[in-house]
Structure 1
């Protein structure tokens, strides 16, 4: 196929398409021929390839269809639609008819061919493949009439015998033509051909036969193995069914055992309560009758307590009245403070508006002074230039210039000096009006300026201090944060491993905040496969899930936090039996390792058949309102329990 892809890509594409679309056709389509036929003897591969037209010929790339409908559909799809350059054929109605060679079957046999002409085979004898393909080649290029030989030396005798129009000897292809003009005769053309390229990889028939036989043996063995597998599968199904039945029976027995154990425990508890009641009854019977003697003293005590309670009530009433008065004063002060605060804000806004007006007036005054000085300088310059200009004039012109000068002195410019002074006086009057309205405006303004300057200095100083403190905080944070993250990572690793043992998942992380007082530890857990890791809170998880997460987190700290002992109180109260058993086993294994701190687990009840080891001790604490006056040694209670079990 690789040779076909390199030599003729269109034929390769058509073959790949045909392989994927065989179900479109009613019959078989063989092709291309080079992948359908096989040379029986590889010594003749080059001769057979040359007889079929060589690797560049069209015959080896031809597709052969069994019927006309498939021929038309294949050409329509591959040639018309896909635009591929192909050779497609259909042998037609004569495809199934036998060939009629010019020689008899006896003459065409290989034995007579060797005996009479020294040739070994016809080309068709060396090919094996689909009968339709072989027959097509016989019809088109007469491969059943082309003898071949690797050893014949007398080529002329073969050409002169008149039996063969084409024959091949060694690496030469001979074509004999009969011509009838003149006295007639024969002409033999000789063509050399290259070694086989396309058919060089044909399969060795004997080797293939051996492989086919080996494959058949392996298939028989595989069939026997499949039969054994079926038997084993059936046996496995029976064993699985039996296992299910036994498991079901085991569960029933365990249920019966638990029910019997609960009934036994209830019976023991009732028996123990009965014994306590009998003992208490006997103790009360034996106790002397001193109750009547205590009644007068108890009545006096009740009277004293009632008097004391009345005095305390009076004190509470006085204190409550004082508290109410104090609250009213506080409310009045708060209202007054709000009023003063509002008045202060109004004064601040008024001072700010007055300051703005004063700044604007000062700016206008300064601008007017600058304009006045500029105009004065310009007038003086004009006056000096006018005086200098009149010095060099003739007498008549000097008189006229004097008149103009006097007129200028009289009328002046568009804005006279007086007008300028009036404008200055007007602005000064405005400033004086502001002073008259608020005499302390300038003083307050100066005070505000000083306060602003002082506050700006303080702000700048505080900014520098803040930057220094921030740098110092960041430096200190860089010292302890990596160590904290490393420690929390170890805790998270232990916590995740502990949760994985009970079929859950979890992690521990750091909850960071700008305020270091609000930093904390975040615990994320997942108790079901279809959930994601969620933050452990008092609302999202159930009580049992919170208890499991808490105890496993504490166990994760076991190797990291050094403490002389640890105490856990009623951690198992919200757990279901499965989690309680697994958590109890982890606590026992983790707390009883060598070098571990002492661990106290306090609980009012425990499940039966829990995991225990020799490094732990069970302590029963007797405490409560109905305890007997004198407890017996624990040994006696254990003996009673053993006796009850034997019963």
Structure 2
């Protein structure tokens, strides 16, 4: 029967009450049943203690039991261990010391004092009567004689930790089963093991802040863990950790304060791996272990069950394989680079050959050019001697020409002298003739002037006769006018008297004024009625406009604009009346100008708009923008603006096409979107451009359906879309420009559309407006009747006024006619007087007409006589001029003859001059040429001397051949020919040779580098093979052993399971992705399938997880293992079988320490003498008596069983 050792714990009660005493005494009701299969069930209850009522908690009982199992019929699954167990029991001393406390201990002992509770040994009904105390001693000694493995937990002490005040646990060396109801503090022990050994809370899956593990109301918490040391250690190492409320931590090892790294080094030395889920599996990380991927599972398995060098070999293989891949990639890149460079070299070979041929030609041309000065110097020297000879000959020829020219020169001089005298006489004669010609022109002008005077005299005579005829005709006309006017004056109207007529008119004016006053008073009484009628008519027109607006969507939106943003409505109305002030169109707010194409998307589209976007006015030019700004925001006191402030005006320069879509429709569909926001809204392109610029319509995704998780992540990480609306939720992603990786996701539900919704006009409101309109029309009719009634009262006044005005008009016309008659008589008298004066003037002007005619005729005759005399004189002077001109013409002919002779003489002499000048020029040119040749010769001589100093012997020899065999022209022709050849060879890439040689060097260096990499690759591959040959068999054996134990466990419950290693990559060389695959089969008809979180149920995964951990138990190299509530989700049958299997494996010899935490315990479970059960009791009904005699419970259980 298992022995139970109790460690007292003190917990703070959560229930406070008054100070009254309990009504019933403390009771303890044990319920213990014993059976053939060594089963133990303990239940304890107690009423609320007095101390609990006062706020002081009594310590709940924690019992620890080690179990030694004896069966009448051995279990077939444990046959292989029966002999070992018997042998072990036969060699074991059964007379161990009694560790139980005396039952006489003081009950008032402090609650935090450790209490050991003795429990009687289990025995079968067929056993002989054995003393209860002896059985307990034997059982305790059996458990205590099993040694702890190095690194196993010997003791755990907690103070002010989570729910514990003080508690001490003393785990056994094999299986430790910690049981108790939920919330009693089982997992707190797990937390204490993790934190007490220097690991962080992240390995617990619970609170991340270490300060949260300090019990409420305390400043510090203490965890002290004693570990089993090596045989050579004098004392076991003890780690103590103090946690403060502010989150700081201090460590002590064996009483000496140490840094955290010292604790970590000790854990590494003892191979304690709390961060390995295969060794340490707390309650909150069970699911994490079940979901642990195959690749990390292999690593955790190696850490838990293989020597450290196996995992190190695996890490080394991964590192070497990564290096191998890097080298192979580098080699492949180098091969490609060499192939590329060799292809380029091949392409350059023709350029290189052509450049080398070009260089040869250039060198040959250079040699020819260098030879040119020497050949030219030889030719120049020879040419200089020839020029000197030519110059001497030229001088002799020049002298001969001068001698031949002398006789001809004298003849020319004589002729020139004779011609000079004649020309002087002709000049004098020409001047005399010019004077003569001037005099003749003057005399001719006198004759012409007299002729003109004669014509004028005759014209004046004709005019005098014609004017007389006209005077007589005017006299007759004037007499006729006088007679007509005298007849008109015969009817004299007499003196004009208008007094009587004026009196009548004045009287009528008085009557009209009186009638008008009465009529004005009557009309004034009508003005209020007319104003009221006009007001009602205006109201009817406003109602008509409102009804028209409400019967269309745009009108509804304008009405909504008026209600929500009165200032924007004011600007919208003002724009309709002032369009002429703008060059382009100014668009109203989007809620008026735009519509949503599909009503189903109205809520999504409207959710994108901010207040400034809904009511924004859009200008398409900067001038219109400024005009609207001044008109809207200007001060209305001076009449320059509306004086508004809450109006948004925007100016857009970009066209809609300048806002590109972020994705095609197919891409958006693959991301889960129905389209972009711009696809669902229509309106003027300028307004849509403004919205794209303002709220990014072209970048916002829209979907009626909710995105899947993968679609949501794709949209979030795609970077192109920062906002979308899907499934009624608006999501925005904000990223900081300076930290693009830092992003904030904001989501909110969208509301119902307010402005874009399509609704029918409210019929009730329209009916009310129509009723109001009918009432106004009735009022107008009533006003019209009243106006008619009042008009009837003063209708006679209007008729009287019309009659008086007609009478006045007739009198005024009569007056006007009388005035016109008198005025016409006076006007005719004036005209008659003027006409009589005109007749008198005409008759007086006709006197002396005959004398004037005679005088004019005599004047004309005198002019005619003067003209004849002047003409005769002019004819005589012309004859004198002709004689003088003839003499001059004869002399000119002689001068022409002499000039012709002189020209002949000069022409003949010019040939001599030309010959002379030509010869002079020739001599001068030969002289200058000789000087130039001498200078050129000296220059070439100096150049040749300087060039010779730079030539090699070979060049000197070749130049000497050119000097002796070729002329300058031949040499230049050859140079030109070679240059033509050079031009025929295109230069192409001028750097081809340099590139070719540099690339050759680069290829060689790259090949050397590849050889080095190949050597490194061979070295790495050799190392991989060496390490793999050492590692792979060990990992295969390890996984094989795990698979064998795993399979046996599954066979134990009638199922099948296996563990295999999955070797990835070509030839299994992708060591990074080697993995462990767990294969299970829970039903007969199924095949073995890989264990996944999707394929198997939660209970099946739990069973598989437990069996895998159990398979590791016999192989584990860790000193202890912790599993918290792994049996959750299992059905009772599997839980019972798994418990039995776990007890068998965990209690074998030479296995590591094992902690199994569970909140439930089925009845009729199997136990083992190596296991130790820790029962944690906590609650209001725990007995105050912390020292309990379990023998009484066992006896009571036997009696109960016997009675049954």
TM interval, shorter chain, is: 0.3 to 0.5
Q: What TM-score, normalized to structure 2?
A: 0.19
Greater percentage in helix: 1
Structure scoring higher RCO (CA < 8 A, sep ≥ 6) equals 2
- Bigger Cα Rg: 2
Q: What TM-score, normalized to structure 1?
A: 0.34
